[in-house]
Structure 1
Amino acid sequence: MLTKFDHYNRELFSNELPSCLITLQREKRTYGYFSSKRFVNRRDEKHTDEIAMNPAYFAVISLQEILQTLVHEMVHAWQFHFGKPGRRGYHNREWADKMEAVGLMPSSNSAPGGARTGEKMGDYALEGGLFLAATEKLLAQGFGISWLDRIPVAVSETSTSATASGGTLGAPLGAEVSSLIHVPVDKNRSNRIKYRCPSCASQAWGKPNLRLLCGEMTCDAAPLLPADG
């Protein structure tokens, strides 16, 4: 994922963004988040930012949405270093302008017609925008997600957005962090079914019509099949 950060930093931010740590975190109800100065070097006490990605969603959302999440958080990083972030949890006009500049339209409902600023924000890619052009270059290089969580989260059929974000002081997770929450976990299990690997019998729950692959090495990414009961 770090090499993808470098790609979008070059294509969308003119290499302005400082390096950061890309981590995988299963933070509930979030695709990813940005946390400024989250880590400190043991030797020289220098700080670096964190962009976290949630691998629990990699199997249930599109590759484009995963990459949109990365770029969305990179815009938060840009605003922390070169702009003026809004109050805790608020996506302000400066942030929205930069999102548009890199080819992502901010939207409170992740679709055309949503509010452009606010606390609960999603986004969608702009046709002919820089993000899609940069992503096409990336995919032309053969980029893909090789590893998927065997037990993905259940995602609601209706995508609504919410943001539980804060300042940019690098306080403990869940406090002073800037988060993008695209899609809430569907807590109603009535619309979830059980899937089972035909080789090792590993099981997972998810919405109907998912395409899930087994992560066990001996199963060679066998497709999981709907299970009875």
Structure 2
Amino acid sequence: MQPTHETYGELQQAFDHFNVELFDGKLPPCLLTLQREKKTYGYFSAERFGRRGDDVKTDEIALNPAYFGVVPVVEVMQTIAHEMVHLWQHHFGVKAGRRRYHNKEWADKMESIGLMPSDTGKPGGKKTGERMSDYPIDGGVFMQACEKLLTQHFHISWFDRFPAKHVTAQALESAGDDEEGEGADLGVTEESQTKPTRAKYTCPKCETNVWGKPALKLVCGECSSPYEVNEAP
């Protein structure tokens, strides 16, 4: 029995499979880690690790093992593919969104691999923004790639037997997105749905911030772009 070898070997197998099936094998290697970030399914962090003895750096894709036993394996694969889009944009994108923002380039790439971006995790949600989720497109390339992987008798062998109560509750809700590194999947909990008294707004072009009451419709005085609502401070 080699739990470490089995766990990370399975994650590497999934990464390699989706790299070929969804990204034509063009993504560079990265370091896959397990991180217990509260309310977080996973995240991407650019050039987070360096190697002693030379100047080599590598990116990180982190997954929260607390969810492995409470969500279907396809959702774990969905998180991996989601974070791989962040990896793709970091290396091949024309203009990555500012930290904590998911722009149109990111959203278009998500759709191209068969994952529909949505701030609610459901049809009809906004495709760009600070806290983003996604759902598989029926018949899309992600689901085809996932089905091909699962027919190879792939599975996640090890899971947390005692996940925190908020993990189980969160798994029943749609995932959102916030940044530990460059992208992270967060669940929506009762705590996070508490109605804020004010909101933060950001101009997508100038990246200036203002604060005000929720649901305001603001326009930037510099570039005339509509401000986009950000998370409450």
Superposition pairs of residues 34-113 of structure 1, within 5 angstroms? 34-83=44-93, 84-113=95-124
Matched, 1:179 2:190: no
For residue 201 of structure 1, what is the aligned residue in structure 2?
none
For residue 156 of structure 1, what is the aligned residue in structure 2?
170
Letter in 2 for 1:36: A
Contact 1:122 1:180 in 2 (8 A): no
**1:161: Cα distance to partner?**
4.0
For residue 131 of structure 2, what is the aligned residue in structure 1?
120
Gap runs ≥5 in structure 2? 1-10, 192-233
**1:143: Cα distance to partner?**
0.6
Contact 1:60 1:155 in 2 (8 A): no
Aligned residue for 1:16, secondary structure, equals coil
Gap runs ≥5 in structure 1? 166-173, 188-229
Aligned residue for 1:49, secondary structure, equals strand
Moved over 3 A (4+): 184-187
Contact 1:109 1:159 in 2 (8 A): no
Letter in 1 for 2:132: M
Letter in 1 for 2:48: R
**1:179: Cα distance to partner?**
2.6
Aligned residue for 1:159, secondary structure, equals coil
For residue 138 of structure 1, what is the aligned residue in structure 2?
149
Letter in 2 for 1:105: M
Whole-angstrom CA distance in 2 between matches of 1:50 and 1:8:
16
Aligned residue for 1:163, secondary structure, equals strand
Contact 2:173 2:189 in 1 (8 A): no
Whole-angstrom CA distance in 2 between matches of 1:143 and 1:186:
34
| Greater Cα offset, 151-160 or 74-83 | 151-160
User: What percentage of aligned pairs have identical amino acids?
Assistant: 54
1:41-90 deviation per Cα after TM superposition (whole angstroms, max 9, x unaligned): 11222000010010001111111110000000000000000112101211
Q: TM-score, normalised by structure 1?
A: 0.74
Q: TM-score, normalised by structure 2?
A: 0.72
Contact 2:44 2:62 in 1 (8 A): yes
Whole-angstrom CA distance in 1 between matches of 2:114 and 2:162:
32
Aligned residue for 1:162, secondary structure, equals strand
Whole-angstrom CA distance in 2 between matches of 1:68 and 1:99:
11
Please provide the CA RMSD for this pair. Answer: 1.7
Distance change in 2, residues 1:43/1:157 (3 Å)? closer
Contact 2:32 2:60 in 1 (8 A): yes
Aligned residue for 2:176, secondary structure, equals coil
1:91-128 deviation per Cα after TM superposition (whole angstroms, max 9, x unaligned): 10000000000000000110101111111110000011
Whole-angstrom CA distance in 2 between matches of 1:88 and 1:72:
16
**May I ask how many residue pairs the two structures share in their alignment?**
178
